[in-house]
Chain A
Amino acid sequence: MSSDHQKNGKSTCGQVSRRSFLRQGTSVAAGLAAFTAALKPLADLKPEDLPSVDEFLQKHYKEMSSDEMSQALKRISDKVEKRFEIRPDIKDIKAKDGVEFVYALNLTRCIGCRKCVHACVAENNQSREPEIQYIRVLEMPKGTLDLEQGNHHYDKPQVPSQDHFYMPVQCHQCANPPCVKVCPVEATWTEPDGITVIDYDWCIGCRYCEAACPYWARRFNFSEPKLPKKDLNPNMSYLSNRPREKGVMEKCHFCLHRTREGRMPACLEVCPVGARKFGNVLDPESEVSQILKNKRVFVLKEDVGTLPRFFYYFDEQHPRLKGDQQL
């Protein structure tokens, strides 16, 4: 071998040195081994983990024809039946004309019992492990609205505490929603009745919306959602409480499968003190319209310009009871 060849570290055509053969051969073998090892998790995939051709070709919610939607609903029903051994009653309920939903919450009444949190979980088929809750109840010292002082891990034997008030926070269904703006695939959007929804089959799990939401209302399925068979709520709809997959976002949708059929949301019905109010704000006689008209109402983080459809309000205090705990 000439010194010229050695200098370049290359051998002439047809001549492979023992050293370079070993070196390059081992590199290739190690590379292949690393590649195979990196693909190892694929070996754990079961056939049912892979989407079917129909599921793979399923269109965005807004682009589906009614035929395609009924096929999609049947696919989802089959899947749910296979997993939970119960045939769900799954529908695609459209928004009604002349309806815009608004939620109002009376901070004077809320006692922080967290019944709404758990009624929501039971209604909406959230993962029990890891735990996903849409509503967070903040315990706030009286006399401030500084959220930094809020504590959602309060653990008193009895509520309410004398020195605190309680502020439940959930999706505010903003009229100017930052979560919708940041979604790169338009998997989340605002419906005509004001509910911001998610197409769980279109979500890519980038979590931009979670970062954009100023109310920490969105939840991510970091691992496979676990839901015991007996706890499944079979009354479900495409855009609300059908079981979610790992890697998608979810959040409060004002119990869309109930409210679009005229019913009240689950968190409202369970509230033992009647602090929660829900209705159609376009109807001037509805409870929420009356509250917006007559009560002292505020929205959370008004300065960020999200225009929430979720309002907090107070009752007026009787002069004789001022400074007293009872209102």
Chain B
Amino acid sequence: MNDHLKHKGSKRNAAIRRLIWPVFLLFALYFLLGSGEVVVPSADVVAISPSQIAIAPMRKVLGDPPLSKINGFERDCLECHEIFNTRDDVDSQSVNQHDHIKMNHGLNKECLTCHDRENRNLLSLYGNDTVSFNKVEMLCAKCHGPVYRDWQKGMHGKTIGYWDESSGEKIKYTCTQCHDPHSPSYESMAPLPGPNTLRMGEQDSEGAHLDRHTPLRTWSRGHETHNVQEDH
């Protein structure tokens, strides 16, 4: 009985031993012929120019008095407006000197709602009160109370520089550094490139990987043909 088992076991061992060397030989061939270098497929780099991620206010803010360049010289508003009469009924579309201004500020269409009639270097608040151009937020606060409150507390608007004022200057943008007062809503812009998450090479077109929910995708403009509106 015991002898019989022993005999069977040794027979199996012999068979395994006979198989070992061809298997090793195959491994040896595989490793020797293989390049040994692992290539991780990665998508092409999309170059970003420094200007695309520059940190600067969207707009320049006017000082006190507000100066603008006319024929190469910096002039304030009164240099013309002391001479010219002011009509009450004008909106910007009919003013020939300021025809580059396109008004898109909701119901607020008339120049003298914000600009002071007597002194064009100032902005008008309630009654006869005025405020200079470098304190423009006081003017905006006339109508945009909740936003002004949020801006004061830092909940609206942009703050750059130092969060810790003991280490450096905290720079808080004012209304007109982001918004055009004549057309305050934001312009849309082209998005910068999205992520390249396709590390496993191109997927076949019939595969589920082309579904827009998949994280596997290379970025190329015009790649996305999916109409999301149709989905929902």
Contacts and interface: CB of A to CB of B under 8 A. Distances in A.
Contact of B48 (A9, A118, A278): A118
A243 to B, nearest CB: 17
Interface string B186-205: 10111111111001000000
A163 to B, nearest CB: 6
Contacts of B32: 33, 37, 40
A222 interface: yes
A141 B221 CA distance: 21
A152 interface: yes
Contacts, number: 204
Interface string B19-50: 01110110110111000111010110100101
A258 B193 CA distance: 25
The residue among A34, A159, A273 with the most chain B CB atoms within 10 A of its own CB is A34
Contacts of B193: 114, 118
B28 A34 contact: yes
Given A114-B192, A118-B53, A316 B146 contact: yes
A40 B188 contact: no
Contacts of B212: 151, 153
A302 B186 CA distance: 32
B53 A119 contact: yes
A215 interface: no
Interface in B164-201: 164, 166-168, 173, 178, 185-186, 188-196, 199
Contacts of A119: 53, 55
A149 B157 CA distance: 29
A80 B167 CA distance: 28
B153 A287 contact: yes
Interface stretch (B9-17, B91-99, B117-125): B9-17
Contact of A154 (B30, B159, B199, B224): B224
Nearest to B220: A155
A290 B192 CA distance: 31
A9 B10 contact: yes
Nearest to B164: A262
A181 to B, nearest CB: 24
Interface residues of A, number: 74
Main secondary structure of the interface of A (DSSP, over half): mixed
B52 interface: yes
Contacts of B31: 34, 37-38, 40
Contacts of B162: 262-264
A250 to B, nearest CB: 15
Contact of B221 (A133, A155, A164, A270): A155
B100 interface: no
B53 A270 contact: yes
Given A41-B36, A122-B50, 19 more contacts: A7-B10, A30-B27, A37-B31, A119-B53, A119-B55, A121-B48, A136-B195, A148-B213, A152-B194, A153-B219, A154-B194, A155-B194, A158-B188, A264-B163, A274-B159, A277-B155, A287-B163, A315-B150, A315-B156
20 contacts: A31-B21, A37-B28, A40-B31, A128-B45, A131-B42, A137-B194, A154-B224, A155-B191, A155-B220, A159-B189, A159-B190, A259-B163, A262-B162, A263-B167, A263-B168, A270-B54, A270-B55, A280-B164, A315-B150, A316-B146
Interface of B: 7, 10, 13-14, 17-18, 20-22, 24-25, 27-28, 30-32, 36-38, 40, 42-43, 45, 48, 50, 52-55, 58, 146, 150, 153-164, 166-168, 173, 178, 185-186, 188-196, 199, 212-213, 215, 217, 219-224, 228-229, 232
